[in-house]
Amino acid sequence: MKADGAPATKTFSTLRAGTVVIGSSLAVAAFLWAFITADSTIAVVALLVLLAAFFFGLERYPQAEAVVVRSFAEARVTAAIVWLVIVLGFPFLFGQNTYFLHLLVMCLIYSVLAIALNFQLGSANIPNFATGATYGIGAYCSALLALEFGWSFWATLPFAALAATLFGFIIGLPSMRTRDAYLALVTIACGVIIHQLLNNFEWTGGPQGLIGIPAPTLFGYSFASPLPVFGYTLPFQANFYYLALALLALSIVVANRLHQSRIGLAWNALRADEIAARAVGINVVWYKVLAFAVDAFLAAFAGVVYAFYISYIAPDNFTFLVSVTLMTMVIVGGMDNVIGVILGAFLLTLLPEKLRAFSDYRLLFYGLVVIAFLMIRPQGLLPQRLRSYGA
Amino acid sequence: MEQIAQQIINWLALSSIYALLAIGFSLLFGVINVIQFSHGDVALTAPFIAMAVFASLGALLPGADLVVALIVAIFVVGVLGIVLERFLIRRFRTAPPMMALVATVALGIVLRELIRILYPDGSNPHPFPQLVPGSALSFGDVSLSWLVVAMMAVTGLLVAVLTWFLYRTGLGLRIRAVSQDIEMARMLAINPNLVFRVTFFVASVTGAVAGLFYASYVGLMRFDLGIIAGLLGFSAAVIGGLGNMAGAIIGSVVLAALDTLVQAVFPDGAAYRLVVAFVLVVLVLVFRPAGLLGRTVVEKV
Amino acid sequence: MSINRRLLILSSIALAALLAGPNAAMAQDKTVKIGFIGPLSGGNAHHGLAARNGFRLAVEHANASDLPFKIEPVILDDASDPPTGVNAALKLVNDRDVIGAIGHWNSPVALATTPVFNRSRVPFIIWGAISPRVTAQNLPFVTRVTPTLIAENAPLAETIANKGVKNLVILSDTSDYGKQNTLSFTELFEKAGGKIVAADAAPVGTTDFRAILTKLKAANAEGLYFGGVITEAGVVRKQMKELGMDVPMYGISGIYDPKFIEIAGDAAEGTIVGVRQAQDNPKADAMTKAYEAKKYPEPHSHYTMFAYDAVGILVDAMKKHGIDDKAALAKAIRDIKYDGVLGETTFDPTGQTQVSVAIMLFAVKDGKWVKM
């Protein structure tokens, strides 16, 4: 993402835009690769310092950011091709290392969840601490359908999403009567209730959860088998990488379409001033509940992919702390900025792994990092951008 | 009959612990407008501080009383509250509510892990002494320990003192002024930062007393007890109506009643304690958002 | 803002200095690694740390003995969280030098990671997680040295019934372990002529049992069987006394620990447990001495012994069958007859340790566990 610091001139050649796009995209990919594979603590710290320096520079020289943004706008086709190549080819960089691939899959799943949460937190400023629960409902629903009735992954997907969306509607309904801190409390309560019930019921497997969820198959090809591509074999995790990638792409498309639609505008209006929004005729309740439903829908998809990927789920996967982590991802990345949210998800998924050198102090450092971040940069790494219309 | 009498005693004992915790949550929200989600963890540092002070006092002056250690612990937790307010919570006072929530949840993690790492063998549970030993009353199968009597007496006393403080002193008046309208209070030359500091001190001290009673009542201290104590105290405060002391007490009594009832009536009911508490929280928030005793807030445009 | 930035830079430098510190352990000629995973932070850290110390001790002892290779320990935290556990497991199996690993106290974490080890063909021995479902899957690369201990209930139930005790109440936790104990003890005790008059369960981590105990007390039983683990047992015993429930408490090795007496205090007197005989063993005494000499900040528990023997079994198999063929190594572990601190360990066809069923009764007298 190292853009040259030249000011944006009026004569912005396509060639130059293309170079900036390719250069910055490759730099991002290289950084991600280096961060995932970094093993020694010195390398991790060096990379974090580099990242901090980058954001420091970005704030210092906003024109550099403008160049990159403008280049991407100019060279849309180049950007699309470059990113397609990067995301499709990324697993090949890790060879047979399943640990790195696994981290990547988890980053993608958390990105989807963070984008889901962003519809409420970022767009409409509705605090929702129950995304962990909708994620869990999606996972449990699909796992139960697969284990009890032998349904396939693809068949359970819509039903899990439906169930979670219904739940989203249910926890969204109180938003008619409550807001801000009180609404946050309702969602916390719902999250805790779902976690406790998953723990208590016999048919959800109790605290020990559900084991042996079968891997998805597609036209007789099992996702649990290694993936052959042009005579090169990728570990089975690559299947789920591409599956999660497709889901993330879907989420990004949905997020963008919604952001640009009347719904996105209505959400932003809600965020700015709820009473004013109501005054201009926006059906506040409907849009609030809709935000919960969209969140639940995408979170359930993520839950289904997770359940079939790990092949085992337990209530402990879906605790209140998961919801808080997702919240942190959105805040750290930058609310209502899809790229920022994805960045936040990647950073907060990888960071605990990179903190392993601290051993017993891992959780302590994680807590400290979150607090420090909220204090130093509460607007997030990539703050929300103004809407721009026309060319 | 005897069983019912005993359960009533259990209920009252729980009520007083929940009430002390809920008052803190309520006070903090009422004045600073922040949900201090780690209040339970702050409160549950008190038993650890007390035992650490007691152990080191024993080395310095043999024969030092546990009471000294308890007083020191309560005071230290109060100061901890002031420190947290100054360096952390104050920054989130005007931020969106979820920022403060996330920050205080993270703070809870930090506090728990600090106890675990700093206290000798802090990962393991440790016994905590019964602060007031002996049984006050033993009638047939019913037993009432002095500890429970002391807990209820101290809770009553603290509530009385707090009420007097809030409604009969100048500082209390200023606290209520800030809680109602901070801008107006500022215009009347009230220093809101002082008010925040005092509020945090008072809430943390009340929490510390609750923490000491809690540890003593269950006979155990463990670094992660703050989670459950926080969740229950917080539910009680919400049920009664945040920002309302009488509400916090009523909420605690209701919550403790349900808590005891669920366990006493249903087999394996203990697993559903949190479910019941939080279903009640949701119902109250939806149908009486200001809590059982709260006043309705009129939107200022 | 600029002060904050300076702070950020300063703190990142400090962080760098801190991180650069414990970065030793360079490669030697023939170094292999064995891994440890367990809860080292969060609510169950005390179990994980006690086992981690046992793991370290065993690796040190193995390195001091005559081995054709040197062992480097790799220690990872699972924080009792299944996804974190899976991350740790994948980190281990992707390290070519890792020959085998031991791990997990939480059954949900073990259930999530065992398929990873099995798929990657890395031998894995469980030192803590007790859910029967872990070995019920019979994954060839997974074994468990922790007995599910249900067997300990049989002699206990008979002894109690033979003493003329007719009515008991049961209190257990809601985990698989607690449920299994309740089921097996009820069946055995009723077969021996006794009767369970009431039973209840509470989740692990419950601290106030008064409402439940008040209810159980009303059943007027002659004793209480506790089917859970140490901390809760200590608290229950203490609160029983407070409520004037002057009846004995019975249990199995899940509560046989000095920590139980520490937590229950004076109330611990009159607690009776059935424990398998092998816990009385000179090797175990030697390990305890070595542990105490190390002055670890955490006290040892029975998980220390399980982790210690898990390493012993792994190293023994590595010594005899080499480290190249992991499938053979996994098979060697299953076929082993290992004499360690737990006594003689052999595995059944599903990889579950087979305990000798000779059980002894212990009771608390004057603040100590005493053989009856």
Spatial distance between the Cα atoms of C251 and B25, rounded to a whole number of angstroms: 40
Comparing CB atoms, the residue among B101, B107, B287 nearest residue A184 is B101
B242 Cβ neighbours under 8 A, 6+ residues apart: B25, B26, B29, B30, B35, B291, B294
> Does residue C5 contact residue C45 with C-beta atoms inside 8 Å?
no
User: In the predicted model, is pLDDT for residue B296 greater than 80?
Assistant: no
Spatial distance between the Cα atoms of A343 and A17, rounded to a whole number of angstroms: 23
Spatial distance between the Cα atoms of A118 and A329, rounded to a whole number of angstroms: 10
Comparing CB atoms, the residue among B7, B116, B143 nearest residue C45 is B116
Q: Supply the pLDDT for residue C153.
A: 83
Closest by CA position to C118, among listed A311, B190, A283, B37: A311
How long, in residues, is chain B?
301
Q: Are residues C165 and C307 in the same domain?
A: no
Question: What's the gap in Å between the CA of B301 and the closest CA on chain C?
Answer: 32
Q: What phi and psi values does residue C23 have, to the nearest 5 degrees? A: -125, 55
A379 touches chain B (CB under 8 A): no
Query: Residue B26: its chain A contacts at CB < 8 A?
Result: none
Taking only residues 139 to 178 of chain B, the set having a beta carbon closer than 8 angstroms to any beta carbon of chain C reads: 141, 143, 145
Beta-bridge partner residues of B135: B145
> In chain A, which residue's Cα lies nearest the Cα of B95?
A378
User: In the predicted model, is pLDDT for residue C2 greater than 70?
Assistant: no
A192 touches chain B (CB under 8 A): yes
Query: Where do we find the tokens 């005729």?
Result: A281
A19 touches chain C (CB under 8 A): no
Beta-bridge partner residues of A232: A229
Q: Do A206 and C174 touch (CB under 8 A)?
A: yes
Q: Which residue type sits at C307?
A: A
Q: Cα–Cα distances in Å, from C239 out to A260, C129, C217?
A: 62, 28, 12
Low-confidence ranges of chain A (pLDDT < 70): 1-12, 359, 386-391
A367 touches chain B (CB under 8 A): yes
At B190, is the secondary structure helix, strand, or coil? Answer: coil
How long, in residues, is chain C?
372
Backbone torsion region of residue A211, taken as left when φ is above 0, otherwise alpha when ψ lies between -120 and 50, otherwise beta: beta
**Token reading at C237:** 């015993």
**Token reading at A302:** 């993520």
Q: Which residue type sits at C47?
A: H
Query: Residue C217: its chain B contacts at CB < 8 A?
Result: 3, 6, 141
* Average pLDDT, integer, range C99-106: 92
Question: What's the gap in Å between the CA of C17 and the closest CA on chain A?
Answer: 9
Q: Where residue C296 sits, what CATH number does that domain have? A: 3.40.50.2300
Q: Where residue B233 sits, what CATH number does that domain have? A: 1.10.3470
Question: What's the gap in Å between the CA of B233 and the closest CA on chain C?
Answer: 15
At B169, is the secondary structure helix, strand, or coil? Answer: coil
C27 Cβ neighbours under 8 A, 6+ residues apart: none
Q: Supply the pLDDT for residue B67.
A: 86
Q: Do C298 and B124 touch (CB under 8 A)?
A: yes
Q: Are residues C179 and C243 in the same domain?
A: yes
Query: Where do we find the tokens 């609160």?
Result: C239
> Does residue A113 contact residue A317 with C-beta atoms inside 8 Å?
no
Please tell me the pTM assigned to this model: 0.87
Q: Supply the pLDDT for residue C9.
A: 54
User: In the predicted model, is pLDDT for residue B36 greater than 80?
Assistant: yes
pLDDT tens-digit profile of C29-62? 588 999 999 998 877 888 899 999 999 999 999 9
Query: Residue B98: its chain A contacts at CB < 8 A?
Result: 121, 127, 129, 184, 327, 331
Say if B298 falls within a structural domain: no
| C349 burial via Cβ count (<10 Å: 0-12, 13-18, 19+) | exposed
Q: Is the dihedral of CA C281, C283, C287, C292 positive or negative?
A: positive
Range(s) of the domain holding residue B137: 2-287
| C319 burial via Cβ count (<10 Å: 0-12, 13-18, 19+) | middle
What is the complex's ipTM, to 2 decimals? Answer: 0.89
Q: Do B138 and C299 touch (CB under 8 A)?
A: no
At A212, is the secondary structure helix, strand, or coil? Answer: coil
A77 touches chain C (CB under 8 A): no
Q: Is the dihedral of CA A198, C135, A359, A34 positive or negative?
A: negative
Q: Do B219 and C262 touch (CB under 8 A)?
A: no
Say if C345 falls within a structural domain: yes
CA angle C123, C129, C135 (to 5 degrees): 55
- Best C111, C173, C176, C229 residue to mutate vs chain A (most A CBs within 10 Å): C111
Say if B28 falls within a structural domain: yes
Closest by CA position to A104, among listed A229, A7, A245: A245
Helix (H) or strand (E) holding C326, with range, is helix C326-335
Cα end-to-end span (Å), chain A: 24
Q: Do B264 and C211 touch (CB under 8 A)?
A: yes
Q: Which residue type sits at B18?
A: Y
Q: Which pLDDT band, with edges at 50, 70 and 90, does B300 fall under?
A: very low
B37 Cβ neighbours under 8 A, 6+ residues apart: B101, B104, B105, B107, B108, B230, B234
Question: What's the gap in Å between the CA of C274 and the closest CA on chain B?
Answer: 24
Q: What phi and psi values does residue C70 have, to the nearest 5 degrees? A: -110, 140
Q: Supply the pLDDT for residue A41.
A: 83
> Does residue B294 contact residue B252 with C-beta atoms inside 8 Å?
no
Comparing CB atoms, the residue among A41, A45, A360 nearest residue C41 is A360
Q: Supply the pLDDT for residue C12.
A: 53
Tell me what the pLDDT averaged over chain C comes to: 85
Domain with CATH 1.10.3470 in chain A: 96-376
Q: Do C40 and A360 touch (CB under 8 A)?
A: yes
Q: Supply the pLDDT for residue A391.
A: 41
Dihedral (Cα; A280, A285, A287, A290), 10-degree rounding: -170
Q: Supply the pLDDT for residue C181.
A: 87
Query: Residue A363: its chain B contacts at CB < 8 A?
Result: 109, 113
> Does residue B220 contact residue B9 with C-beta atoms inside 8 Å?
no
C202 touches chain B (CB under 8 A): yes
CATH architecture entry for A96-376: Orthogonal Bundle (1.10)
Dihedral (Cα; B112, B114, B115, B117), 10-degree rounding: 120
Q: Supply the pLDDT for residue A146.
A: 94
Q: What count of CB pairs under 8 Å joins A to B?
A: 117
Spatial distance between the Cα atoms of A292 and A176, rounded to a whole number of angstroms: 12
Q: Do A314 and C133 touch (CB under 8 A)?
A: no
pLDDT tens-digit profile of C271-303? 998 877 655 678 888 888 999 998 888 888 888
DSSP C146-157: S---GGGHHHHH
Question: What's the gap in Å between the CA of A360 and the closest CA on chain C?
Answer: 5
| C163 burial via Cβ count (<10 Å: 0-12, 13-18, 19+) | exposed
- Best C4, C207, C291 residue to mutate vs chain B (most B CBs within 10 Å): C207
Comparing CB atoms, the residue among A42, A199, A315 nearest residue C19 is A42
Half-sphere exposure of C7 (CA within 13 A, CB side): 9
C235 touches chain B (CB under 8 A): yes
Say if C20 falls within a structural domain: no
Q: Do A196 and B99 touch (CB under 8 A)?
A: no
Say if B295 falls within a structural domain: no
Q: Cα–Cα distances in Å, from B13 out to A53, B153, B256, C189?
A: 55, 11, 9, 36
Count how many domains chain B has. Answer: 1
Spatial distance between the Cα atoms of B256 and C202, rounded to a whole number of angstroms: 17
Comparing CB atoms, the residue among B217, B220, B270 nearest residue C263 is B220
> Does residue C52 contact residue C39 with C-beta atoms inside 8 Å?
no
Question: What's the gap in Å between the CA of C237 and the closest CA on chain B?
Answer: 10
Question: In chain C, what are the helix, strand and coil shares in percent, each to the nearest 5?
Answer: 50, 20, 30
Question: Which segments of chain B does DSSP mark as H helices, in order?
Answer: 2-32, 39-43, 45-60, 66-87, 97-118, 146-168, 170-180, 182-187, 192-218, 225-240, 245-265, 273-287
Question: What's the gap in Å between the CA of B119 and the closest CA on chain C?
Answer: 10
Spatial distance between the Cα atoms of B183 and B178, rounded to a whole number of angstroms: 8
* Average pLDDT, integer, range C143-149: 82
Comparing CB atoms, the residue among B33, B103, B285 nearest residue A374 is B103
Closest by CA position to A205, among listed A323, A317, A325: A317
CA angle A207, A169, B286 (to 5 degrees): 90
Comparing CB atoms, the residue among A174, A275, A374 nearest residue B299 is A275
Q: Which residue type sits at A107?
A: C
Q: Are residues C178 and C130 in the same domain?
A: no
Q: Do C111 and A362 touch (CB under 8 A)?
A: no
Closest by CA position to A338, among listed A382, A372, A303, A308: A382
> Does residue B101 contact residue A330 with C-beta atoms inside 8 Å?
no
pLDDT tens-digit profile of B224-245? 899 889 989 989 998 988 888 8
Spatial distance between the Cα atoms of A19 and A26, rounded to a whole number of angstroms: 11
**Token reading at B14:** 């729980």
C279 or B120: which leads in pLDDT: B120
> For B31-45, B134-148, C88-102, which range has the lowest pLDDT when averaged over its residues?
B134-148
C: neighbours with 3+ CB pairs under 8 Å? A, B
> In chain A, which residue's Cα lies nearest the Cα of B287?
A177
Q: Do C212 and B121 touch (CB under 8 A)?
A: no
pLDDT tens-digit profile of C237-272? 999 998 888 899 999 877 888 889 999 998 999 899
Q: Do B264 and C234 touch (CB under 8 A)?
A: no
> Does residue C306 contact residue C285 with C-beta atoms inside 8 Å?
no
Q: Do C77 and A99 touch (CB under 8 A)?
A: no
Q: Which residue type sits at B108?
A: G
Taking only residues 90 to 149 of chain A, the set having a beta carbon closer than 8 angstroms to any beta carbon of chain B reads: 121, 125, 127, 129
Question: What's the gap in Å between the CA of B262 and the closest CA on chain A?
Answer: 14
**How far is residue A334 CA from its own chain's centroid?**
12
pLDDT tens-digit profile of C342-355? 888 889 888 888 86
Q: Are residues C154 and C135 in the same domain?
A: no
User: In the predicted model, is pLDDT for residue C5 greater than 70?
Assistant: no
A208 touches chain C (CB under 8 A): yes
Say if B90 falls within a structural domain: yes
Q: Do B2 and C206 touch (CB under 8 A)?
A: no
Dihedral (Cα; C303, C307, C312, C313), 10-degree rounding: 100
Range(s) of the domain holding residue C205: 150-278+358-371
B292 touches chain C (CB under 8 A): no
CA angle A91, A93, A94 (to 5 degrees): 75
> In chain B, which residue's Cα lies nearest the Cα of A128?
B98
Q: Do B92 and A374 touch (CB under 8 A)?
A: yes
Q: Do A316 and C75 touch (CB under 8 A)?
A: no
Q: Are residues C169 and C69 in the same domain?
A: no
Count how many domains chain C has. Answer: 2
Taking only residues 358 to 387 of chain A, the set having a beta carbon closer than 8 angstroms to any beta carbon of chain C reads: 359-364, 372, 375-376
B6 touches chain C (CB under 8 A): yes
